Amino acid sequence: MDDQFRVRRDAFLRKIGVHPVVMGILNLTPDSFSDGGRFPTPAAAVAHAHKLFADGADIVDVGGESTRPDATAVAAGDEWTRVEPFLAAMARHPDKPLSIDTYKASIAARALKLGAVLVNDVWGLQKDDAMADAVAEGEAAVVIMHNRAEKDETIDIVSDIRRFFDRSLERAARAGIPLERIILDPGIAFAKSSRQNRDVIERLGELRGYGLPLLVGVSRKAFLGSLMEGSVEATLTGTIAANLAAAAQGAAIFRVHDVAEHVAALKVFGALGVGSAQAESQAR
């Protein structure tokens, strides 16, 4: 990988832990649960990416396949057709780091060649056996997200997450992915009940023992609506509240649709010193 790529990757990674990192969401899909079909042309997608960066995003996460429950699987060729024009256009803006949201190694490898610096894998290197090698060979950073084939309300979800992470980290080590390039995501709202989603946020601090940055993605998730009287769907208010709760438990990266609002909320949160006080309490 060329030096320019490494500079972009490392500049992004250095932000983690210095301040809350905001990852803007860009779905180039017709069927994503919140914003599917909103960006039908490469020009529209590029314009929105620039808005996300202008609003304060540290990185933009682009995906060409919906991962919502019951979404239709997309062939690799179709997924690439959706994301390639956007990635090619954004290659002219090397100062704006991109992440590729995919569980397919072939898509990840091609996206890295077009300048993406991070692979966001919703199956944590466990769906495609070639993914860990693709990340390692591309010298990319990676988000390892917890997922399950199906929901099971009887299990201790945090214990399940830890077992999943242990398997994924073994794969990463075998492939030669350095720990300093790994981010963990507990996969809130992926094959989890509403109670389990709340458990993950409440017990997020239990995952800090890995010594790796924690990413949370609760933006506009349906389970948030059930926590607000009279609300049938997730709202911005609920999303911000959940992200601040996660920040208090040690989350470092926040994957969101509404970037400007989260940048402002997290700035106030940091100024109040709530996160640092929580971290000190947990360390005792």
Active site positions, annotated:
221, 255
CA distance 146 to 168: 9
- Identity (one letter) of the amino acid at 198? R
CA distance 196 to 156: 8
Retrieve residue 211's tokens. 């010594």
The helix (run of H) or strand (run of E) holding residue 60 is strand 59-63
Query: Is 163 in contact with 157 (CB distance < 8 Å)?
Result: no
Query: Is 186 in contact with 204 (CB distance < 8 Å)?
Result: yes
Q: Which residues, in sequence order, are CB contacts of 133 under 8 Å at separation 6+?
A: 105, 175
